[in-house]
Amino acid sequence: MSIVKRAVGRMVHRGWAYLREAATLSPGSTGGYRFRRLGEGACVSFPVGAIFGEAWIEIGDHTLIGERVSISAGMGPGVDLGPDSIVRIGKGCSIGRGSHIVGHQSIDIGDDVFTGPYVYVTDQNHVYDDPETPIGRQWPRNNPVVIGSGSWLGTGAIILPGTRIGRQSVVAGGAVVRGEFPDHSVIAGIPAKVVRRHSAELGWHAPGVVRLSSA
């Protein structure tokens, strides 16, 4: 490689690094003020994904939103969604690049929740009640989502409307999750189910395992 190409390459990389830092959304940046709350030390990495409805989105202190993460509240920009926030992400979280968080009624992500890339979380889905009307034209249905503090969501996991995941739980990569799951669960599969639980007596164990009497 010639000296000129190396010099140009260094300039491009330095310029890109500067651009990424300058364009990151933080509490003090112009874009940061649009959010209901963007906590101290929080940042939304550049390149930024599709973000709208910021006035109904809360992001906690020291939470990192990865590159190309889309976060939305409502069906589209410019809609008044009422007095309450819709998407709430706690403190100390890390949302993996390319993930989508799509809220219409209520999505609560607790503190210290980490995700791999390309995770999808939504509280709305299309219905197919009328077999003659195109599904995309039928009015969708909302159901709140809760993801407990301390949980980990693996790459490509899909969290569907009405899901409640307990604290300190693991969602396996690629799982399609709907329903209610207790604290300290390992959740995997399509459709997802609990494959491991934790208890003080047994530690981590498969569902249905019981402690044998020592008598």
Is 126 one of the catalytic residues?
Answer: yes
Dihedral angle sign, alpha carbons of residues 70, 178, 86, 185: negative
pLDDT of residue 211: 62
Q: Is the pLDDT of residue 215 over 60?
A: no
Q: Is the pLDDT of residue 214 over 60?
A: no
Listing DSSP states for the chain in one string gives: --HHHHHHHHHHHHHHHHHHHHH-B-TTSTGGGGSSEE-TT-EEPSSP--EE-GGGEEE-TT-EE-TT-EEEESSSTT----SS-SEEE-TT-EE-TT-EEEESS-EEE-TT-EE-TT-EEESEE----SSSS-GGGSPPEE--EEE-TT-EE-TT-EE-TT-EE-TT-EE-TT-EE-SEE-SSEEEETTTTEEEEEEETTTEEE-TT--PPP--
pLDDT of residue 2: 83
The letter for the amino acid at 185 is S
pLDDT of residue 102: 97
- Give the CA count within 13 Å in the CB-facing half-sphere of 134: 2
pLDDT in tens, 6-26: 776 777 677 666 566 666 788
Query: What pTM does this model have?
Result: 0.88
How many angstroms separate the CA atoms of 185 and 175, rounded?
Answer: 13
Q: Which of 13, 100, 126, 205 is catalytic?
A: 126
pLDDT of residue 15: 67
Mean pLDDT check: name the lowest of 76-85, 138-147, 191-200: 76-85
- Range 166-175 average pLDDT: 98
Q: Is the pLDDT of residue 204 over 70?
A: yes
pLDDT of residue 21: 67
pLDDT of residue 28: 82
Mean pLDDT of the chain: 90
pLDDT in tens, 64-85: 999 999 999 998 777 788 999 9
